[in-house]
């Protein structure tokens, strides 16, 4: 009798102990790990338009252009490469997202499950931008970067997919799982000057 | 007279040092020479010197586009060593080290060759094996090398952090006869010695073309007019591609920028050359007290003698990781040099498809240590129209023949060499 | 520090890219012979001036892009996608 | 003796700060620098010079300082060579003078000064050559000991450093009148502005004029109100790089005894600016005259700064020596502060301000110079004479204020490749036409005077705004222009009189040294610099650089413009290693990459080893094995050979490849064929670089017609992906292929050993592992502990083995389930060491054999080179040198004496003492199967040596071990076990 799969373990659950880190004060940021299903979707040669249609019809989402993310109530699509997107949804059951995306796109796209390969974090608060600026080389000023924008770029020597969620500002940071612990080490250090409240994982 | 010695210094002191002659003359170019060496860096000047000294060819001009010695000779981290892995390199670099060892007396110029040891650190078994293979290979060729364990490393360079927490040091390969030499003095010393043997050193004379007739060189076009030459030797580090192209030769070389740095003067803190195997970093302390250090190339084609910040960051991080006490030391200057990066990381000293045109180039990071032997072999190759045993392997054809001398195994990716 | 305008991602710092040399050399057809492959792998124009070169946006969109850059001044005049044609100004 | 003025200055006199210098205690105030506080305490002798060990005092009031250098703080926080005028005073500050022994007052090496005639520029090039052996043993150690200035700390730095990446529309460097005006204009236009000022107060020259305080304060306040303006005091812009990127260092906590908790000591800013305004002011120049290095000689502008800003009288009775009008301001201010003016020596024959001063009762000697300075260790008398040397008069004075004019601070402009133009009007170099998006303003381009500088700054600000296309700019209030009659300054560099006249106070370079360099042919400015070391000290010649160039120009009989200046390079002021290194030092030098099983390995006592960024378990010591790691390694390997072991192989690179042309694509990347691989099967593949050398190897499986799963070596994972991207994007863009790295999504573990099937069968559900159903090289999906897994029947150890891959989040339960299932068979976790041992026994090549030099033939893998079809590396692999029969080929090696140890890195020689290397040992380990050391090697001649003997030479340890050459497969020659 097959037993049901246990909850997958995220490296961040270990690394990111809820509680306060660094300075105490009003300028603190909050940091939280998120359990997400992730799928990389790539158009087959010459099928980008078909893929866009299939995703719109099947998943109710427009595939965004370079540098942007699109969201529906249940799904976010982040442009990561020409004709390639990272789809991100709350974690439900193992392989579900990949299966439903595969069903929706058919032969128009290649679907690769990345749920375990990447870890998702959210950094939020008025000083979140200042914290990221200690390691992020792109311009996050509101005139240059706003909710809905996304970028693949290194943050503190670790490659990252970064997306702005709101004007708090909140940033979603997606990093390789094998580097997630190193990344939060760095991030907590970077945030120490302002203080950082780590919330329990979502 | 013009011989340098403590006695002369003493005597001159009483006349306010007013009678020291020029270190080298400033002649106008003659219409033609037996040999024109292009490039007044250490290599070109050494070639001229050895042409005169070893082969009796004195009707020689060194033409230099600016003042001599301000190319890579004047901007390198001055490390001298012969710790190579492949036998094709051993005899050449060891010969160079031997020439360094007697250079001051030979040139009558103190080039401050300082054999305080070159120590390469390793951090893993895999690295240890590569170092051991290299050290053993050197020893088989009669070159000095020692494999140090951690305690010996600690004793040799006390400031190195063996347990930096990320890439702990497992040991090091030491060549005690390695060390440094005073870069400027090398150019000046060769210039003065060559000049005294009759060589014309012509500064501010840029070669703009190489005249070839019937596949044989005729001379060089320069900013000071045409200069005839029976034979031409190129020693124009960083610019070898461009000069060779003037004679229609295309080379397996890219020009890249390498940066170097010097700190404020400090009382003695590092007494040897030490290199960090876990990241590109090497450092030594000059006699003046400045810490001279460097790292990897910036990694893009460049003829600008300046580099950029990412390399700086990486080099300094590696430096503080290897020697934490560097953290509060302040650096006063950074600069860059343009190097020929060959597709296997090894040099070229050879004849070319054009008759009587010879090349000494492709030195990557490592041509300063080669200065005496490269000049010596270049001179030999020019004088005899055939390579010496020492530079027999340093051909252009080796790439076509599949006989690359690739110490690092990085392959035809100059940015990785 | 070079700032390179990736045709996909916009202007990014040099460190996001891996420099990968002359973009004017082309891999020969399979049967082209040793000389052609020798030229492809080894021979480089190595100009002191405008250079069309590959930069791989390794930490970004992972595309190989073409950059027209001056090797003496480090000025970047143009960037393009891999399949686009870039021509160097006459010296 | 206090030199503190009763009133004035920008000090907080209510805050008294205690500090020590050379062990003596003093008191200063908040707002003081170490220099001003010592001066206020009457301390004048503060150091010794580099070469002659002459007494040194305080020359300047800023980072231009060449001579007043100290060791600051103590222990791990000690810093050498700190210029006193930039050291902000804090309570508890400790400073030491340097380069003196036994004490500052009685320094033995000051005999060098007496010997100085024997030590001209470059003397060391001419001597110390005999006897040759004495250089390293005697001369050099002496030179090294006497050179150098301060001592660096010997311990790790307890402070930390921060990096900051910034982007702005306009970066303004310098906050004088010009910088403030430029920043204000840009800010009012709505630009994002960063204003960097190296001083701890904003204002530059404005800080010296109380009349302008209102404008300064109002402008700073207006800037501070703008949300898009970042004001950065204590921040030095140190370098100007390509693409308008500038580096700056903010000294966040250097003015405190220790950084506050969670705060960095310094912060490194990388500023990407769309437009730049360089308003960096000017450097006041010294004049070369005998004794110009003596304590008590102070630049006139600096003296004004000490008076006005720090409320210190730098002396009691002063001589002022000038070639320009500005020094008169100093003279008047000195007098106002109660300092007697013995005389003003003005080199100019006449000047309006000279007349004014005379009318005010000051003894102004026009057409006069200072020809000498008398006194013990500091200024006591000053000789003033006519320019031709006549009428010399020795005046009692303890202060000599000197001004040789001002040189624009063009360092940053020049670094941005702006050409330098000579200006006769100011006798200095000014920036020419900018190359990058940059402009200079104010004194930095020779526009002196506050109102003029402010208005020039506003113009620069407007130009920047226009270049940004930000539209109209607002008018801002500017300081009123003060019309004042003046006389142009007269270029004047040197007083030729007997005695040492210095052009570089830190390196003890004199005018005679420059002339000597010229005589000897080192006449180019860059040669003269290197021969004399002029302008090569920490200050890079800010006060004396141009003076040296002028002396050289005169010797050459040419203009200074023709002589030029040595190349300007970063750093505008020295920068500490630590701040640029930032967080990436020590254990943070490179991020640590951990597999999904890392925590399990930690809990089970694994010893880790670094493999690139990865941490991998090397072995798992058990009780009793602590002393000898080999015990653990052999135990683990033995378990694999005899029973079953399990190893975390998650670090192998994994790439998902899809698309109609995936098979074709792989055929072109690998030397062997993949398009024919059946679905559900794996195949070992070999990749070459285009130059024909082996690049990487690994197994690739086919999951569907258009879907492959590829693995690479740990070390090459990133490079292989890049290699694929290159070919897919640029060489064969027509292929329908999609791929991406999935290394992190999948954890994988290898269960290997004769009992592997028994162990796994119990754990694996949904897959029949029987040999017939799931043969060698089969691939299939299944579950373990309810988790999805993909099982590959592949083997690196040479045993019956299965690689089990599972989404990384399930790695632990899957691993635990296999451990539990294998317990009855003695399943043993094994690390990288045992893995290495096993593969050597099997003759499988790995990193040591694939070092970037070997061909497929060298490794005995020629059968993997397909005969037909294109693949990367095919053509060049056929070059004669790469197919030469004498190339070293892979062999196995065993010591003849079974007790002897074989070492990797040994060379293979025919006889003891033979210098000719025939090959080398690539890998060696003790074998569990053979009970002796075994190895792999590359040997010229290869299989011709089988069953013959050679020596493995390790001359580094004077070791020679006789070895027998064997087939590389030490164990299970027939490869039967993997198929069992
Ligand atoms: C930062 C840095 C650090 C280094 N560190 C080391 C080290 O530690 N150890 C080591 O062994 N090597 C080192 N090297 C390499 C070493 O400096 C060089 O390989 C070596 O100095 C080359 O000497 P050269 O005489 O061939 O070249 P150069 O000294 O560069 O001389 C070439 C000359 O040719 C002139 N020239 C060019 N074109 C023309 C023309 N058209 N007409 C006339 N003249 C022309 C140039 O002006 C120049 O003076 C380093 C290099 C750099 C840049
Ligand atoms: N005698 C003269 O005519 C004369 C000469 C020079 C300067 N001045 C002064 O010039 C002023 C003109 O104003 P200005 O704004 O052009 O010059 P300024 O000297 O008032 O301001 C320049 C500012 O730039 C700062 N600075 C220099 N390099 C820096 C760097 N790399 N990073 C950060 N900050 C740096 C300095 O600390 C200084 O505060 C007048 O106030 C006058 O006092 C006058
Ligand atoms: C070994 C060595 C030591 C150096 N020491 C100093 C030094 O103490 N002070 C200094 O200003 N520059 C020093 N330099 C750097 C030179 O000033 C100069 O920057 C370098 O030779 C490159 O020339 P360039 O900057 O004129 O292009 C040193 C250079 C070398 C190679
Ligand atoms: Zn991109």
pLDDT tens string C30-64: 999 999 999 999 999 999 999 999 999 999 999 99
Domain count, chain D: 7
Residue A27 and residue A40 share a domain: no
pLDDT tens string D446-471: 999 999 999 999 999 999 999 999 97
Whether the pLDDT of residue D340 is over 60: the answer is yes
**Does A52 map to a domain?**
yes
- Which residues of chain D neighbour C63 with C-beta distances below 8 Å? 725, 729
List the 128-187 stretch of A: residues with Cβ below 8 A of D: 133-137, 139, 141, 143-144, 156-158, 176-179, 181-183, 185-186
Residue D763 and residue D622 share a domain: yes
Residue D415 and residue D383 share a domain: no
Return the structure tokens found at D129. 């050559």
Q: What is the CATH number of the domain that holds A146?
A: 3.30.1360.120
Quote the domain boundaries for residue A153.
13-34+117-198
Residue D30 and residue D142 share a domain: yes
Please count the other Cβ atoms lying within 10 Å of the Cβ belonging to residue B83.
Answer: 25
Q: Which residues contact D344 (CB under 8 A, 6 or more apart)?
A: D319, D320, D321, D322, D327, D328, D331, D354, D357, D362, D363, D364, D365
Q: Which residue of C3, C15, C18, C19 to mutate against B (max B Cβ within 10 Å)?
A: C19
Residue A92 and residue A149 share a domain: no
Q: Which residues contact A199 (CB under 8 A, 6 or more apart)?
A: A18, A30, A31, A32
Q: Which residues contact D823 (CB under 8 A, 6 or more apart)?
A: none
List the 8-47 stretch of C: residues with Cβ below 8 A of A: 8-10, 12-13, 15-16
- Which residues of chain C neighbour B303 with C-beta distances below 8 Å? 48, 71-72
Whole-angstrom distance, CA of residue B405 vs CA of residue B84: 11
Three-state SS string over D564-618 comes to CCCCCCCCCCCEEHHHHHCCCCHHHCCCCECCCCHHHHHHCCCEEEEECCEEEEE
Determine contact, residues D932/D920, Cβ cutoff 8 Å: no
* Chain A: residue whose CA lies nearest to C82: A82
Residue D236 and residue D149 share a domain: no
- Which residues of chain B neighbour C21 with C-beta distances below 8 Å? 254, 301, 413-415
- Categorize the per-residue pLDDT at A3 as very low, low, confident or very high, splitting at 50, 70 and 90: low
Whole-angstrom distance, CA of residue D957 vs CA of residue D965: 22
Sign of CA dihedral D902, D904, D908, D913: negative
Residue D831 and residue D701 share a domain: no
Contact A44/D at CB under 8 A: yes
Average pLDDT over residues B299-326: 96
**% chain D with pLDDT above 70:** 100
DSSP structure string for chain A: -PPPPPPPP-HHHHH--SEEES--STT-EEEEEE-EEEEEEEEPTT-HHHHHHHHHHHHS-PPP-TTBEEE-SS-EEEEEETTEEEEEEE--STTHHHHHHHHHHGGGEEEEE-TTTEEEEEEESTTHHHHHHTTB-S--STTT--TTBEEEEEETTEEEEEEEEETTTEEEEEEEGGGHHHHHHHHHHHHTTT-EEEPPP-
Ligand 1 pocket check for B209: Cβ under 6 Å: no
pLDDT tens string D82-123: 999 999 999 999 999 998 888 888 888 888 888 888 889 989
**Does A5 map to a domain?**
no
Determine contact, residues D72/D82, Cβ cutoff 8 Å: yes
Long-range Cβ contact pairs of D695-699 (< 8 A, separation 24 or more) = D695/D719, D695/D720, D695/D723, D695/D850, D695/D873, D696/D720, D696/D850, D697/D845, D697/D850, D698/D652, D698/D653, D699/D792, D699/D794
Smallest Cβ–Cβ distance between D569 and the set B265, B335, B404 belongs to B335
Whole-angstrom distance, CA of residue D718 vs CA of residue D726: 12
Whether the pLDDT of residue D482 is over 90: the answer is no
Domain count, chain C: 1
Least confident of B160-169, D539-548, D881-890: B160-169
**Does C91 map to a domain?**
no
What pLDDT shows up at residue B303?
98
Average pLDDT over residues D535-549: 97
Check residue B114 and report its DSSP letter.
Answer: B
Q: What is the CATH number of the domain that holds A95?
A: 3.30.70.1520
End position of a domain, from candidates A90, A113, A136? A113
What pLDDT shows up at residue A181?
95
Q: Report which protein residue has its CA nearest ligand 3's atom 24.
A: D567
- Lay out the sheet containing D787-792: strands in order across: D764-765, D779-784, D787-792, D801-807, D746-752, D645-648, D828-829
**Does D859 map to a domain?**
no
Determine contact, residues B41/B235, Cβ cutoff 8 Å: yes
Average pLDDT over residues B176-180: 97
Angle ∠(D878,D881,D887) on CA atoms, nearest 5: 110
ipTM of the complex: 0.97
Whole-angstrom distance, CA of residue D147 vs CA of residue B288: 5
Phi, psi of D626 (to 5 degrees): -60, -35
Q: Where in chain B is the domain with CATH 3.50.50.60?
A: 22-78+183-253+344-416
Determine contact, residues D44/D378, Cβ cutoff 8 Å: yes
| Contact at CB, D730 and C54, closer than 8 angstroms | yes
**% chain B with pLDDT above 90:** 93
Specify which residues B285 forms β-bridges with. Answer: B291
Quote the domain boundaries for residue D979.
885-980
Return the structure tokens found at A26. 């009003």
- Over the range D53-67, which residues count as b (16 or more CB within 10 Å of their CB) and which as e? bbbbbbbbbbbbbbb
Q: Where are the alpha helices (DSSP H) in B64-178?
A: 87-101, 103-107, 125-140, 150-156
**Does D869 map to a domain?**
no
DSSP structure string for D373-438: EESSSS-SEEEEEETTSTT-EEEE-SEEEEE--EEE--HHHHHTT--EEEETTTTEEEE-S-SSSE
End position of a domain, from candidates A113, A144, A166? A113
pLDDT tens string A70-119: 999 999 999 999 999 999 999 989 999 999 999 999 999 999 999 999 99
Residue A121 and residue A29 share a domain: yes
Return the structure tokens found at A31. 């940091």
- Which residues of chain A neighbour D162 with C-beta distances below 8 Å? 134, 190, 193
Query: Strands, DSSP E only, in D848-958?
Result: 888-895, 907-909, 919-926, 933-940, 949-954
> How far away is chain B from the Cα of C17, in angstroms, using its nearest Cα?
11
Return the structure tokens found at D530. 């290197």
- The whole-model pTM stands at 0.97
* Chain C: residue whose CA lies nearest to D436: C75
Whole-angstrom distance, CA of residue A106 vs CA of residue A84: 15
| Contact at CB, B252 and C51, closer than 8 angstroms | no
Strands D93-97 and D12-21: parallel
| Contact at CB, C63 and A82, closer than 8 angstroms | yes
Whole-angstrom distance, CA of residue D594 vs CA of residue D851: 25
What pLDDT shows up at residue D700?
98
Pseudo-torsion of CA D313, D317, D318, D319, nearest 10°?
180
What pLDDT shows up at residue B1?
46
What pLDDT shows up at residue D151?
95
Q: What is the CATH number of the domain that holds D761?
A: 3.30.1360.120
- Which residues of chain D neighbour B309 with C-beta distances below 8 Å? 239, 241, 245, 247, 270
Residue D278 and residue D183 share a domain: yes
Residue D625 and residue D761 share a domain: yes
Average pLDDT over residues D218-236: 98
Provide Rg for chain A, Cα atoms. 17
Between the alpha carbon of residue D822 and those of residues D752, D755, D817, the distances in Å are 11, 8, 8
SS3 B262: strand
Q: What is the CATH number of the domain that holds D686?
A: 3.30.70.1400
Average pLDDT over residues D898-904: 96
Map tokens 């397909």 to a residue. Answer: D866
SS3 D917: coil
Smallest Cβ–Cβ distance between D658 and the set A5, A110, A181 belongs to A110
Residue D778 and residue D644 share a domain: yes
Q: What is the CATH number of the domain that holds D131?
A: 3.10.20.440
Return the structure tokens found at D184. 């204000």
End position of a domain, from candidates A61, A93, A113? A113
- Categorize the per-residue pLDDT at A47 as very low, low, confident or very high, splitting at 50, 70 and 90: very high
Of A184, A117, A179, A36, nearest to D598 by C-alpha is A179
Q: What is the CATH number of domain B22-78+183-253+344-416?
A: 3.50.50.60
Ligand 2 pocket check for D179: Cβ under 6 Å: yes
DSSP structure string for B161-193: -TT-SSS---EEEEETT-EE--HHHHHHHHHHH
**Does A8 map to a domain?**
no
Q: What is the CATH number of the domain that holds C11?
A: 3.30.2270.10
**Does D617 map to a domain?**
yes
Taking the CA of B243 as reference, the closest ligand is: 1
pLDDT tens string B292-305: 999 999 999 999 99
Helix (H) or strand (E) holding D216: helix D213-225
Ligand 3 pocket check for B333: Cβ under 6 Å: yes
Determine contact, residues D275/D468, Cβ cutoff 8 Å: yes
Domain count, chain A: 2
**Does A7 map to a domain?**
no
Q: Which residue of C1, C26, C38 to mutate against D (max D Cβ within 10 Å)?
A: C1
**Does C88 map to a domain?**
no
Residue D114 and residue D83 share a domain: yes
Sign of CA dihedral D827, D833, D839, D840: negative
Residue D425 burial by CB count (10 A; 0-12/13-18/19+): exposed, middle or buried? exposed
Q: What is the CATH number of domain B106-180+264-339?
A: 3.30.9.10
Ligand 2 pocket check for D197: Cβ under 6 Å: yes
pLDDT tens string D686-720: 999 999 999 999 999 999 999 999 999 999 999 99
Side-chain half-sphere exposure of D915, counting CA atoms within 13 A: 10
What pLDDT shows up at residue D147?
82
- Categorize the per-residue pLDDT at D1 as very low, low, confident or very high, splitting at 50, 70 and 90: low
Whole-angstrom distance, CA of residue D256 vs CA of residue D323: 40
What pLDDT shows up at residue A1?
43
Residue D975 and residue D929 share a domain: yes
Rounded to an integer, what is the distance from CA B385 to the centroid of its chain? 23
| Contact at CB, D690 and C40, closer than 8 angstroms | yes
**Does A2 map to a domain?**
no
**How remote is the CA of residue B260 from the centroid of ligand 3, in Å?**
9
Residue A184 and residue A148 share a domain: yes
Determine contact, residues D121/D509, Cβ cutoff 8 Å: yes
Helix (H) or strand (E) holding D61: none
Quote the domain boundaries for residue C13.
3-81
Helix (H) or strand (E) holding B227: strand B225-234
Determine contact, residues D68/D543, Cβ cutoff 8 Å: no
> How far away is chain D from the Cα of C37, in angstroms, using its nearest Cα?
7
Ligand 3 pocket check for D567: Cβ under 6 Å: yes
- Which residues of chain B neighbour C51 with C-beta distances below 8 Å? 301
Determine contact, residues D698/D713, Cβ cutoff 8 Å: yes
**How remote is the CA of residue C79 from the centroid of ligand 4, in Å?**
11
């Amino acid at each position: 009798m097959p037993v049901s799969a246990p909850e997958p373990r995220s490296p961040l659950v270990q690394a990111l102990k809820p509680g306060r880190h660094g300075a105490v004060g009003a300028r603190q940021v909050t940091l939280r790990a998120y359990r997400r299903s992730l799928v990389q979707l790539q158009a087959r040669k010459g099928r980008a338009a078909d893929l866009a249609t299939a995703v719109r019809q099947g998943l109710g989402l427009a595939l965004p252009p370079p540098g942007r993310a699109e969201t529906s109530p249940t799904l976010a699509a982040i442009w990561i490469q020409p004709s390639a997107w990272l789809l991100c949804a709350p974690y439900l059951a193992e392989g579900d997202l990949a299966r439903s995306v595969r069903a929706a796109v058919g032969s128009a796209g290649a679907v690769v499950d990345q749920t375990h390969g990447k870890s998702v974090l959210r950094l939020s608060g008025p000083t979140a931008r200042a914290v990221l600026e200690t390691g992020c080389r792109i311009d996050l000023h509101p005139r240059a970067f706003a909710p809905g924008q996304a970028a693949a770029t290194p943050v503190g020597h670790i490659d990252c997919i970064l997306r702005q969620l709101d004007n708090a500002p909140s940033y979603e940071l997606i990093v390789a799982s094998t580097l997630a612990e190193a990344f939060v080490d760095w991030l907590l250090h970077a945030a120490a000057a302002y203080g950082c409240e780590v919330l329990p994982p979502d | 007279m013009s011989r340098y010695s403590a006695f002369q210094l003493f005597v001159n002191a009483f006349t306010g040092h007013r009678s020291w002659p020029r270190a080298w003359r400033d002649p106008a170019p003659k219409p033609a020479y037996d040999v024109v060496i292009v490039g007044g860096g250490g290599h070109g000047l050494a070639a001229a010197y050895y042409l005169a000294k070893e082969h009796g060819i004195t009707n020689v001009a060194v033409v230099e586009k600016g003042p001599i010695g301000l190319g890579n000779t004047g901007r390198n981290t001055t490390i001298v060593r012969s710790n190579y892995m492949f036998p094709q390199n051993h005899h050449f670099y060891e010969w160079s080290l031997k020439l360094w060892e007697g250079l001051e007396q030979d040139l009558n110029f103190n080039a401050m060759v300082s054999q305080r040891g070159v120590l390469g650190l390793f951090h893993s078994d895999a690295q240890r094996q590569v170092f051991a293979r290299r050290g053993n290979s050197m020893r088989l060729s009669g070159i000095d090398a020692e494999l140090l364990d951690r305690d010996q490393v600690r004793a040799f360079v006390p400031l190195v952090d063996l347990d930096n927490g990320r890439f702990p040091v497992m040991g090091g390969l030491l060549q005690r006869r390695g060390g440094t030499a005073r870069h400027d003095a090398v150019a000046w010393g060769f210039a003065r010695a060559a000049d005294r043997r009759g060589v014309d050193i012509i500064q501010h004379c840029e070669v703009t073309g190489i005249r070839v007739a019937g596949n044989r060189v005729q001379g060089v076009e320069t900013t000071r007019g045409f200069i005839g030459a029976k034979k031409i030797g190129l020693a124009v580090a960083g610019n070898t591609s461009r000069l060779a192209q003037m004679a229609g030769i295309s080379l397996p070389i890219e020009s890249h920028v390498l940066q170097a740095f010097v700190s404020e003067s400090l009382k003695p803190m590092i007494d040897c050359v030490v290199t960090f195997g876990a990241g590109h970093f090497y450092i030594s302390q000059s006699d003046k007290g400045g810490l001279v250090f460097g790292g990897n190339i910036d990694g893009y084609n460049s003829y600008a003698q300046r580099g950029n910040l990412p390399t700086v960051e990486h080099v300094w991080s590696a430096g503080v990781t290897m020697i934490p006490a560097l953290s509060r030391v302040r650096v006063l200057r950074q600069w860059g040099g343009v190097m020929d990066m060959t597709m296997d990381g090894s040099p070229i000293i050879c004849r070319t498809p054009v008759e009587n045109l010879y090349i000494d180039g492709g030195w990557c990071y490592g041509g300063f240590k080669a200065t005496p032997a490269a000049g010596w072999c270049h001179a030999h190759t020019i004088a005899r129209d055939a390579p010496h045993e020492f530079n027999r392997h340093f051909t252009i054809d080796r790439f076509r023949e599949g006989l690359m001398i690739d110490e690092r195994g990085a392959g035809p990716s100059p940015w990785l060499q | 520090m070079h700032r390179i305008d990736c045709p996909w991602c916009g202007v990014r710092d040099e460190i996001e890219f891996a420099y990968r040399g002359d973009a004017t050399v082309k891999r020969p057809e399979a049967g082209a012979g040793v000389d052609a492959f020798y030229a492809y792998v080894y021979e480089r124009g190595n100009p002191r001036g405008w250079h069309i070169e590959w930069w791989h946006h390794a930490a970004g969109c992972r595309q190989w892009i073409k950059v027209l850059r001056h090797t003496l001044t480090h000025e970047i005049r143009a960037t393009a996608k891999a399949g686009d044609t870039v021509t160097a100004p006459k010296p | 003796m206090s030199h503190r003025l009763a009133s004035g200055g920008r000090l907080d006199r209510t805050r008294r700060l205690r500090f020590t210098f050379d062990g003596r205690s003093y008191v200063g105030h908040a707002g003081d620098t170490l220099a001003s506080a010592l001066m206020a305490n009457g301390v004048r002798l503060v150091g010794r010079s580099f070469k002659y060990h002459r007494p040194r005092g305080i020359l300047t009031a800023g980072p231009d300082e060449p001579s007043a250098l100290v060791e600051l703080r103590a222990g791990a926080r000690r810093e050498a060579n700190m210029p006193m005028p930039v050291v902000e005073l804090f309570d508890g500050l400790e400073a030491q003078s340097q380069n003196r022994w036994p004490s500052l007052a009685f320094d033995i090496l000051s005999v060098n000064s007496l010997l100085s005639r024997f030590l001209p520029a470059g003397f060391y090039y001419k001597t110390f050559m005999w006897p040759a052996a004495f250089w390293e043993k005697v001369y050099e150690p002496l030179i090294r000991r006497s050179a150098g200035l301060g001592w660096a700390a010997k311990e790790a730095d307890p402070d930390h450093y921060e990096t900051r990446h910034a982007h702005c529309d306009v970066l303004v460097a310098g906050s004088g009148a010009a910088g403030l005006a430029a920043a204000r204009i840009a800010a009012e236009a709505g630009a994002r502005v960063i204003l960097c000022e190296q001083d701890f107060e904003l204002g530059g020259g404005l800080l010296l004029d109380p009349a302008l305080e209102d404008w300064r304060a109002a402008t700073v306040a207006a800037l501070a109100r703008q949300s898009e303006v970042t004001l950065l005091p204590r921040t030095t812009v140190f370098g100007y790089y390509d693409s308008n990127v500038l580096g700056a260092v903010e000294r966040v906590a250097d003015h405190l005894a220790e950084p506050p908790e969670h705060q960095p000591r310094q912060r490194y800013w990388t500023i990407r600016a769309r437009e730049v305004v360089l308003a960096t002011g000017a450097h006041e120049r010294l004049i070369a005259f005998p004794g110009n290095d003596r304590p008590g000689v102070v630049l006139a502008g600096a003296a004004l700064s000490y008076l006005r800003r720090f409320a210190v009288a730098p002396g009691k009775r002063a001589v002022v020596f000038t070639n320009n009008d500005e020094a008169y301001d100093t003279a008047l201010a000195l007098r106002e502060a109660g300092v007697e003016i013995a005389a003003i020596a003005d080199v100019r024959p006449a000047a309006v301000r000279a007349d004014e001063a005379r009318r005010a009762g000051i003894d102004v000697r026009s057409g006069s110079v200072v020809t000498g300075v008398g006194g013990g260790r500091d200024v006591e008398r000053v000789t003033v004479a006519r320019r031709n040397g006549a009428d010399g008069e020795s005046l009692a004075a303890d202060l000599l204020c000197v001004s040789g004019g001002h040189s624009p601070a063009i360092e940053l402009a020049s670094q941005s490749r702006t050409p330098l133009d000579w200006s006769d009007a100011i006798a200095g170099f000014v920036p020419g036409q900018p190359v990058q998006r940059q402009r200079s303003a104010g004194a930095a381009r020779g526009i002196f005077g506050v109102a003029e500088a402010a208005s020039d700054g506003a113009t620069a600000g407007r130009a920047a705004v226009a270049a940004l296309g930000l539209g109209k700019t607002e008018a801002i209030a500017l300081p009123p222009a003060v019309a004042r009659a003046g006389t142009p300054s007269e270029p004047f560099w040197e007083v030729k009189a007997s005695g040492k006249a210095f052009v570089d106070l830190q390196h003890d370079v004199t005018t005679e040294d420059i002339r000597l360099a010229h005589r000897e042919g080192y006449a180019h400015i860059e040669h003269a610099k290197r021969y004399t070391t002029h302008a090569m000290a920490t200050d890079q010649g800010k006060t004396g650089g141009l003076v040296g160039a002028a002396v050289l120009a005169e010797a050459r009989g040419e203009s200074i413009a023709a002589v030029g200046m040595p190349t300007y390079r970063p750093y505008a002021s020295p920068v500490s290693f630590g701040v640029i290194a930032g967080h990436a030092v020590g254990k943070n030098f490179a991020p640590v990459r951990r597999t999904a099983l890392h925590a399990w390995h930690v809990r089970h006592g694994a010893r880790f080893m670094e493999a690139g960024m990865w941490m991998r378990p090397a072995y798992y010591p058990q009780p009793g094995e602590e002393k000898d790691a080999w015990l653990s390694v052999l135990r683990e390997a033995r378990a694999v050979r005899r029973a079953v072991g399990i190893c975390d192989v998650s670090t192998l690179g994994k790439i998902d490849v899809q698309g109609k042309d995936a098979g074709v694509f792989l055929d072109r990347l690998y030397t062997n064929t993949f398009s024919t691989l059946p679905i559900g099967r794996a195949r070992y593949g070999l990749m070459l670089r285009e130059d024909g050398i082996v690049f990487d190897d690994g197994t690739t499986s086919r999951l569907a017609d258009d879907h492959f799963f590829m693995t690479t070596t740990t070390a090459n994972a990133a490079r292989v992906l890049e290699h694929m991207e290159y070919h897919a994007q640029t060489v064969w863009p027509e292929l329908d292929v999609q791929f991406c790295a999935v290394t992190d999504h999948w954890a994988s573990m290898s269960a290997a050993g004769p009992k592997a099937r028994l162990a796994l069968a119990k754990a694996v559900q949904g897959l029949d592992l029987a040999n017939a159903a799931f043969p060698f090289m089969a691939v299939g999906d299944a579950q373990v502990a309810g988790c999805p897994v993909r099982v590959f029947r592949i083997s690196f150890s040479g045993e019956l083995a299965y690689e089990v891959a599972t989404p990384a989040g399930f790695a632990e339960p899957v691993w635990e389930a296999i451990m539990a299932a294998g317990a009855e068979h003695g399943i043993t976790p094994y690390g990288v060491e045992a893995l290495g041992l096993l593969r050597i026994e099997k003759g499988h090549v790995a990193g040591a054999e694939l070092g970037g030099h070997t061909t497929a033939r060298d490794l005995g893998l020629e059968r993997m080179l397909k005969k037909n079809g294109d693949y990367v590396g095919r053509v060049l692999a056929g070059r004669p040198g790469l197919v030469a029969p004498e190339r070293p080929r892979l062999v196995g090696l065993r010591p003849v004496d079974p007790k002897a140890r074989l070492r990797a890195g040994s060379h293979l020689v025919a006889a003891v003492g033979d210098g000719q290397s025939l090959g080398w040992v690539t890998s060696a380990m003790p074998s569990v199967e053979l009970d002796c050391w075994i190895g792999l090697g590359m040997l010229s001649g290869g299989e011709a040596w089988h069953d013959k003997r050679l020596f493995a030479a390790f001359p580094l340890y004077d070791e020679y071990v006789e070895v027998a050459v064997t087939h590389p497969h030490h164990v299970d020659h027939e490869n039967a076990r993997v198929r069992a």
